[in-house]
Structure formats: C-alpha cells, structure tokens
Amino acid sequence: MSDLTPFEREKIRSILKREPTETELGIFTVMWSEHCSYKSSRLHLKKLPTRGPRVLVGPGENAGIIDIGDGYAIAFKIESHNHPSFIEPFQGAATGVGGILRDIFTMGARPIAVMDALRFGPLEDPGNARILEGVVSGIAHYGNCFGVPTVGGECVFEACYNGNPLVNVFALGVFRHDEIFYGRASGVGNPVIYVGAKTGRDGIHGASMASAAFTAESKQKRPNVQVGDPFLEKLLLEACLEAMKTGAIVGIQDMGAAGLTCSTCEMGSRAGTGVEIELALVPQRETGMTPYEIMLSESQERMLIVAEKGREEEVFRVFRKWGLDAVAIGRVTGDGMLRVKNHGVVEAEIPNRELADQAPVYDRPHDVPPYRPAGMDAPQFSSPDLTADLLKLLGSGDICSKQWIWRQYDYMVRTNTIAGPGADAAVVRIKETGSSVAMSLDGNARYCALSPREGTKLIVAECCRNVSTAGATPVAATNNLNFGNPERPEIMAQLVESIEGLAEACEFFETPITGGNVSLYNETLGESIWPTPVVGIVGLMRTAAPVTIPFKEEGRTVMLLGGLGSCDEIRFGGTQYAKAVLEKLWGLPPALDLDYEKRVQAAIREIVNGGLAESAHDIGDGGLAVALAECSMEGIGAAVEVASGLRPELLLFHEGPSRVILSTAVPAEVERIARAHGVEALRAGVTMKGILRIGNDSMTLVDCPVQQLRQVWEKALENQLAARV
C-alpha cells in the first residue's frame, strides 16, 4: 500500500527510532508524497522571487497575501485538481474549486473571484468532450452555489492532454490587515477543534494518487475522488469568518490534501508545538473506520481550529448557529509530537517538524536537454486564401469564443465584476477601498514544448500585458506547474528550465511569486503532457469604468502600440496558425525583449488610465489578424493598411509579444505617450462599420464581413460539442 522508497522507509525508521505502525506509515506516505512535500521541485522553487514591498505573506502558508492599500489585503493562490478531474470530471473539478476556496478563507479572507485554466484533449474524441462538460458543470455547480463569481480563465485543446486533462483553479479573497489568520497551533494546552463536514472514507490517498502516473487501471480509483457539497462550504465560510471575529481563534487550517494528517502536523510544525488528538471524538459519517482511514480521509468541507483555552464555547456557538459540527478533538502540547489516539490507545506518534518539513528533497537528474516534441526547421507553406485562414483560426478550439463555458458560471454574483470572462484581464472592484484588482491567467504549452524557459517568460509577459491593458499595475504572481514524470531527466529538465524562466520574468516585472502548486506525473501510459506552467498575475488600479476589447465608434484611429513586431519562420512554429492551419509544431517560440515589453505595458497603462483609448486589446494567440477580428465582434470593424516586409502569413498571424491594438479619437496624444516611453505607436487604420479589411502595401490580404467572423467565432465550441453523437 505504500509508495515510499526503501530510502524513505529507512529515513522514517531513523526519525522514529523504531518500526512505524501501519497508521504511521500511511501518514508518512501522504505527507511525503510529491503532492504534499514538493520533494522533486522544492530545490528549484527556491529560485523564485518571493519578496516585494507589497508581500505580507509569501509561500508556505495556505495562500499568499499582498497589501492593496487602505488597510486592506488580498489573498490568492492557484491549485490543480488534474488527476481527480480525469477520473471523475464533475466531482474532481468541483472539489478543486472547493479546496482552493478553503485555502483563501482559512486565512480570513472572503473569496471574491475564481478563474480556471483548463486543458483537454481534442473534442473529436467524445471522451474528451465528456470530460469538458463534466469539468465545466462541476466548476459551475460548486462556484455558483458557494456564491463566488468565476470571472475568467482559459481553455486549450491539445492531443497531449488526452487521458490527462488539466484543471487549475485560481481563487482570490479580500480582507483587512487585522483579519489575517495563520495555520499555527500555538499555545500549549489550547483545544484543537474539528469543524465542518463529517469524516467519511472518500478521498483516501488522494494526495498519493495525485503523485503517480496514470495507467489503464486508473479509472478504478474513482473512490479516491472526493465528493463536494458547496452549500456546506458556504456555511463553513460564513461560520469561520464569524468565529474569527470572536477573537477566540488562535490558528486555523483547512483539511485539504491528506486531510486531518496534513492539518495537524503542519499547524504544529509552523508553531513549533505538538498536537494530540483522539480519533474517537472525530465526527464520522461511516461506521467502523480505522485510524488509518480517519487520518487519511480527504472528505471535503472540514477545518481544524486551535482556539484559546476557555473560550471554546464562543466558537461552538457560531458553528451551532450555522448548523455545523464543532468538536474539540485534542489539544496543543509542548513536546512537538503528533500523537494520534484511538479510544485512548496511541496509534501514531511522530515529530511534527520532521513529518511536515523534512520530507526527503531530491535533486533529480536533469543534465540533458529538455524533451522537445518537434524539430527546428520550418516546413514549406504558402496560403492560397488568408481570409479563409483567419476564419479557420477564429473557429479553432483555442481561439473561438468560450461563451458556452462561461455562461454556465455565475460571473456577476457579489456585484463587483467590472470586466468578466472574455476580457484580456478580469477586473473585480473592492467595494471597501475604491480600488480594483485585475487578474489574468495564462499558459502556453506549445511555446513551452519548444523552449520551457522562453515559453514561461512569454507567459509571464502576456499576463502582465493583459493586466496592464486593463489599466492595472502588475504586483504579484502565483503559478501552477503542470509537468510530466520528474524521474525522467528530459522532463525534469523542462521543469527546471521553466522555473528558471519564471524566476527571471517575475523578477523583471516585479511580480513576486506568493505561492502556487506543482503537479507532476501528468503522464498516461508512459506519455508525458507538454510542459504546462500556468501563471496568474494580479494587478492593482483605481476603480474606473473598463476599457473593453470591441471597437466602439466608426471613424476612429486604429493604433498598434508596440508596432508590427518581428518574426522569422523558425519563430512562427509555435503559433496558433502553425497549429490550426498547418497542423504542425516546429522551431522556437516568439522572441521576447523584456525591456521593450515593460515599456509597452507602462505606455498602455498611461493611455488607458488617461482615458485616451476607446478600446484596447492585447495581441496574443493568432496574432494581429485574430486580435483585429476580436476587436470587431460587436459590429464595428476596421480598414487597416500597413507597410511591412514580412510575408503575409507572418504579418497577419505571428505572435510576437509587446503589442496592443487600441482605437482612439486622439491619436496624437497616444503617440506622445508612446514616444515618452520609447515605444512605437503605429496609425494602422480606421474603424468602420461591418467590415474587417487588412492590407499590406495596398495589397488586400483579408476582407471579410464582421458578421461572418462573428458567426464562426461565437458558435464554434457549441457546434463542436453538438456535432458529437
């Protein structure tokens, strides 16, 4: 039953100075699993920048916290629920949302936004379509009932996610500085209180399952997937926040992966204390559960609280009001041990610190080039019809409207959503302060497959550009590293390069990483997924009406901030054009000039915040032509005429970064700001009703009614799902 290596078993014997009991072995197995201990990645995660003037709490707690001024702070983090979502898409995704929400409110913050990054295999396979539908309805089920808006995200289809979909959920909450709570079991003699749902047999060994590759038998692990109850979570949220106000709570932590085991030993370890619990007191929903099962259960919607001795009743009263179980199951001790008793008999006795923080750390071999699924040379290609190519891109899975997905999410509840799904960045206002938080979630496995380092830097740049296009200043980051099997050096090399790229870019954009998640062993039948780091960037701005993507008025100047960009054929191989039109992958990701990128971002912030842009949209997947089409979807298109030496396919569809399209009535003022920042601002054309026309040196490349662009783009996903029998 144990996934521990002989070396790890030996280490356990030396810690305990005896043979472990079965319960102890189970406890070590989950705590030292990849999922809980980060044993393969920890060494490299240390390279990430984690400090900054706004960082109040960095990695290591349940979520990172940054200062947003006016005495307020935000807590945010991203987590994966990849493995459970493959085995049982609906519950896997639902409990993914539930888990990250608890990470936020266990710190005292009220969740105000969720976003998700999803990856599936191509929808031609009905199995993948079923997973997509299950995941989306699971996220909707949990988030909508809980009452947190799902304000954005992304969804990408790639064959490497066949049998290994990715579900990464980001959540963000807000609170005052004096409302922050930590997961610490301080104060010897204080009671340890269990609150929330009763413990059942669901999810046992979920953390270890998430740390293993998939085999043909994996679907039999369905009982390892937890079952979510969003209503109970909503009660738990309200009860926890209310109980925190009593002043009787010393420390609090949610029971997520590895359940009672993880919460007890981590709280003890952080406080340098011991924790003693009696399992007979744990509320149970099944009979005959063994200590092993109770300690390893991953039943959802549970929290562990350490309260001030003598003030238990104040906590109990709040939980009674919300109709929840709250039971003292143990106490904080001074001996540093996790002591688990069952009806008075000691079942486990392990030093907290060794268990929680001294899992083995592996320097896995990575002295080979990262695995590349593609060659370097560009194939021959020449397009007979560029308008047809544009339509094909607009109807492709990665670029088409994701309306079918996000209309199932309540993205407006709490009446803070200023910019929701479909925008470059989601923007949520903080009612209490007059400021708003902009956030963007992005990943690009094609870029990272070609170069994990360059790809990851491009992702950070894109996120920061999205946030800047909304007018916000990027201030912090979180990340979810989804990779294959780290025991293979060419995969480990991908992970190391990606982390180093992430570190460099986050350092450069002054967005420290305040927390995140690593999901390894994303491998099915020996086939690893492409490296898929997902980055979430959070930015701050004064609350204001949003500048949105669509062109608003006819006759306005269309400008390309950052210019036309540059690209050669090698750097064209990771684009959506290469994927959707040429069905190939080659070469390298687009070239990124970090310094120029930063100046473009500063310029667009100043333009947007100065009220000079009527619309603004970052150029990303699909390049210039796709971005112009996206700006045209509300009916006002544009006639754009440029002069470029690039061949037409590259000019229209290359994905060189550091570019934003905007429409304005005051182009000279935009130019003045661009000049001041040392970036190009090209007058590329003029908005006009109903038509998108793009020409180069008076040769027409694209000419299409906006109505046709919209038809293809808006319904593509829905049609693809409906076409399935």
Partner 1 sequence: MRFGVVVFPGSNCDHDAWYAITHNLGQQAEMIWHDSPSLGGVDAVILPGGFAYGDYLRCGAIAKFSPVMTAVRRFAGQGGLVLGICNGFQILVESGLLPGALLRNRDLKFVCREVPVRVETVNTPFTSAARPAQTLRLPVAHGEGCYFADEDTLDRLEREDRVVLRYLDNPNGSLRDIAGICNERRNVMGLMPHPERAADALLGSTDGRVILESMVHSLVAQ
Closer residue to partner 1 in complex, CB, 147/667: 147
For partner 1, the binding residues in 16-55 under the rule CB under 8 A are none
Residue 147 near partner 1 by CB under 8 A: yes
Q: Which of 31, 63, 82, 352 is nearest to 207 (CA)?
A: 31
Residue 231 near partner 1 by CB under 8 A: yes
Residue 417 near partner 1 by CB under 8 A: yes
Could you tell me whether strands 636-642 and 681-689 are parallel, antiparallel, or unpaired per DSSP bridges?
antiparallel
SS3 string of 55-115? EEECECECCEEEEEECCEEEEEEEEECHHHHHHCHHHHHHHHHHHHHHHHHCCCCEEEEEE
Residue 241 near partner 1 by CB under 8 A: no
Residue 300 near partner 1 by CB under 8 A: no
φ and ψ at residue 344, rounded to 5 degrees: 90, -15
CB of residue 398 to partner 1, shortest distance in Å: 22
Residue 140 near partner 1 by CB under 8 A: yes
Residue 412 near partner 1 by CB under 8 A: yes
Residue 470 near partner 1 by CB under 8 A: no
User: Does the annotation mark 654 as catalytic?
Assistant: no
Residue 543 near partner 1 by CB under 8 A: yes
* C-alpha torsion sign, points 85, 89, 95, 100: positive
Residue 301 near partner 1 by CB under 8 A: no
Residue 238 near partner 1 by CB under 8 A: yes
- Write out the two tokens for 646: 């690039």
Contact range with partner 1 by CB under 8 A, out of 119-127, 232-240, 331-339, 701-709:
232-240
Helix (H) or strand (E) holding 634: none
User: What's 311's DSSP letter?
Assistant: -
Q: Which of 115, 207, 235, 467 binds partner 1 (CB under 8 A)?
A: 235
Contact range with partner 1 by CB under 8 A, out of 185-193, 230-238, 363-371, 651-659:
230-238
CB of residue 231 to partner 1, shortest distance in Å: 3
CB 470 within 8 A of CB 417: no
Residue 722 near partner 1 by CB under 8 A: no
Q: Compute the distance between CA of residue 211 and CA of residue 486 in angstroms, rounded to an integer.
A: 11
Angle at 622 between CA 682 and CA 666, to 5 degrees: 25
Residue 319 near partner 1 by CB under 8 A: no
Closer residue to partner 1 in complex, CB, 3/238: 238
Q: Which of 673, 638, 610 is nearest to 553 (CA)?
A: 638
Residue 137 near partner 1 by CB under 8 A: yes
CB of residue 230 to partner 1, shortest distance in Å: 8
Q: Which of 408, 609, 707, 711 binds partner 1 (CB under 8 A)?
A: 408
Helix (H) or strand (E) holding 27: helix 22-31
b/e per residue 400-418 (b: at least 16 CB within 10 A) = bbbebbbebbbbebbebbb
Q: Compute the distance between CA of residue 378 and CA of residue 393 in angstroms, rounded to an integer.
A: 20
Contact range with partner 1 by CB under 8 A, out of 97-105, 208-216, 405-413, 522-530:
405-413
Residues in Cβ contact with 86 at an 8 Å cutoff, skipping those fewer than 6 apart: 92, 131, 163, 164, 165, 214, 218
User: What's 220's DSSP letter?
Assistant: G
Residue 713 near partner 1 by CB under 8 A: no
Residue 698 near partner 1 by CB under 8 A: no
Closer residue to partner 1 in complex, CB, 555/635: 635
Closer residue to partner 1 in complex, CB, 285/407: 407
CB of residue 75 to partner 1, shortest distance in Å: 19
CB of residue 542 to partner 1, shortest distance in Å: 12
Q: Which of 32, 175, 322, 362 binds partner 1 (CB under 8 A)?
A: 322
What type of residue is 607?
I
How many residues at the interface with partner 1, by CB under 8 A? 31
Contact range with partner 1 by CB under 8 A, out of 53-61, 65-73, 303-311, 409-417:
409-417
Contact range with partner 1 by CB under 8 A, out of 39-47, 233-241, 461-469, 562-570:
233-241
Residue 93 near partner 1 by CB under 8 A: no
Classify burial at 699, counting beta carbons within 10 Å of its beta carbon; exposed 0-12, middle 13-18, buried 19 or more.
Answer: exposed
For 3: left if phi > 0, alpha if psi spans -120 to 50, otherwise beta; the answer is alpha
Q: Which of 545, 698, 699, 725 binds partner 1 (CB under 8 A)?
A: 545
Contact range with partner 1 by CB under 8 A, out of 73-81, 187-195, 251-259, 402-410:
402-410
Q: Compute the distance between CA of residue 414 and CA of residue 149 in angstroms, rounded to an integer.
A: 7
Residue 234 near partner 1 by CB under 8 A: yes
For partner 1, the binding residues in 164-183 under the rule CB under 8 A are none
b/e per residue 580-602 (b: at least 16 CB within 10 A) = bbbeebbbbbbbbebebbbbbbb
Contact range with partner 1 by CB under 8 A, out of 343-351, 383-391, 410-418, 506-514:
410-418
Closer residue to partner 1 in complex, CB, 79/233: 233
CB of residue 403 to partner 1, shortest distance in Å: 8
- Write out the two tokens for 327: 């039971």
Q: Compute the distance between CA of residue 619 and CA of residue 712 in angstroms, rounded to an integer.
A: 20
User: Does the annotation mark 81 as catalytic?
Assistant: yes
- CA trace torsion 91, 95, 96, 98 (10° rounding): 150
Closer residue to partner 1 in complex, CB, 141/205: 141
Closer residue to partner 1 in complex, CB, 222/320: 320
- Three-class SS state of 594: helix
- Write out the two tokens for 71: 């005495």
Q: Select which of 81, 366, 654, 677 is catalytic.
A: 81
CB of residue 238 to partner 1, shortest distance in Å: 7
In angstroms, what CA-CA distances link 45 with 39, 78, 192, 516?
Answer: 10, 15, 32, 10
Q: Which of 535, 557, 593, 721 is nearest to 124 (CA)?
A: 721
Q: Which of 285, 407, 542, 675 binds partner 1 (CB under 8 A)?
A: 407
CB of residue 155 to partner 1, shortest distance in Å: 16
Q: How many helices (H) and strands (E) does the chain have?
A: 24, 28
- Write out the two tokens for 450: 């070609």
CB of residue 206 to partner 1, shortest distance in Å: 23
Closer residue to partner 1 in complex, CB, 412/668: 412
In angstroms, what CA-CA distances link 704 with 411, 490, 621?
Answer: 32, 45, 20
Residue 14 near partner 1 by CB under 8 A: no
CB of residue 724 to partner 1, shortest distance in Å: 16
Q: Which of 323, 344, 380, 384 binds partner 1 (CB under 8 A)?
A: 323
Q: Compute the distance between CA of residue 184 and CA of residue 9 in angstroms, rounded to an integer.
A: 28
- Three-class SS state of 539: strand
Closer residue to partner 1 in complex, CB, 405/476: 405
Closer residue to partner 1 in complex, CB, 266/410: 410
- Which residues of the shown chain bind partner 1 in the complex (CB under 8 A)? 137, 140, 144-147, 229-232, 234-235, 238, 322-323, 406-415, 417-418, 429, 431, 543, 545
Active site residues: 35, 81
